[in-house]
Amino acid sequence: MESVKLFGTWSSPSSKRVEIALKLKGVEYEYVEEDLQNKSPDLLKYNPIHKKVPILLHNGKPIVESLLIVEYIDETWPGPAILPSDPYDRAMARFWAKFLDEKCWPAMKKAWLSTGEEQEKANEEANEALMFLENELKGKKFFGGDTIGLVDIAANLIALWYGINEELSGLIQQPLTKDKFPNLCEWVDEYTNCSFVKENLPPTDKLAQLYMARIQADKASAQ
């Protein structure tokens, strides 16, 4: 019998990427919540190099790194395609997913955690990165076109973060506003209203509390 186990944490956008891909494909799985302050022997055994979640354990074989897991899921199970079939479109999807992880998310985090001049610079970088995504969505419902694909699942972190926008408004500057980024804001609505995404969103108040505590702790330790 097939065994599919996911090690994750409820607040991690990366873990959520994997859950959403599994739900999109209709794959049954067992979910194991990890406490990152006290990592389980299984976590350390299955991801000895990075020692982090998510980890997908498929018939006893571990796969790590959220985007690689999503590609694995797409190649392994039937159901709606997550990556396009055309090689050029696939390369572009991988490009934007990588861009989200390597450019967009670090700039957004820096904009949250820095202050003064550094924050202004980081805000500019985050704005620039988000504007590339805004343009990429022109005339499209999802990054993947009419249906959710790799880039939508990767951009999960923007949707989660947008959801706690208001709660954090006193604490951080929010570059993602409807007047500046109408396409991205509309995308967040469309994306978070898909049933298999909606049922996977972490509770907004709990997530806001967690991020608020993290931001305050990071700012305090940076001073």
Please report, as ranges, the residues that interact with a second copy according to CB under 8 A. 49, 58, 61, 63-65, 68-69, 71-72, 75-76, 87-88, 90-92, 94-95, 98-99, 103, 132
CB of residue 103 to a second copy, shortest distance in Å = 7
Q: Which residue type occupies 158?
A: I
Least CB distance from residue 133 to a second copy, whole Å? 11
By C-beta, is 74 or 172 nearer to a second copy? 74
Shortest Cβ 104–a second copy spacing (Å): 11
For a second copy, the closer CB: 64 or 111: 64
Q: Of the two residues 101 and 190, which places its CB atom closer to a second copy in the complex?
A: 101
Nearest distance from C-beta of residue 184 to a second copy, angstroms: 16
Q: What is the 3-state secondary structure (H, E, C) of the chain?
A: CCCEEEEECCCCHHHHHHHHHHHHHCCCCEEEECCCCCCCHHHHHHCCCCCCCCEEEECCEEEECHHHHHHHHHHHCCCCCCCCCCHHHHHHHHHHHHHHHHHHHHHHHHHHHCCHHHHHHHHHHHHHHHHHHHHHCCCCCECCECCCCHHHHHCHHHHHHHHCCCCCCCCCCCCCCCCCCHHHHHHHHHHHCCHHHHCCCCCHHHHHHHHHHHHHHHHHHHC
In this complex, which beta carbon is closest to a second copy, that of residue 98 or of residue 206? 98
Q: How far is the CB of 128 from a second copy (least distance, A)?
A: 9
Compute the least distance from the CB of residue 67 to a second copy, in Å: 9
Look up residue 29 and give its two tokens: 């799985």
Q: Which is nearer to a second copy, 36 or 91 (CB)?
A: 91
Of 44 and 213, nearer to a second copy (C-beta) is 44
Query: What distance in Å separates the CA atoms of residue 134 and residue 123, rounded to the nearest whole number?
Result: 16
Q: Which of 149/202 has CB closer to a second copy?
A: 149
57 touches 3 (CB < 8 A):
yes
Pick from 166, 207, 217: nearest CA to 16: 207
**Beta carbon of residue 68, minimum distance to a second copy (angstroms, whole number):** 5
Tell me the C-alpha distance between 169 and 174, whole Å: 7
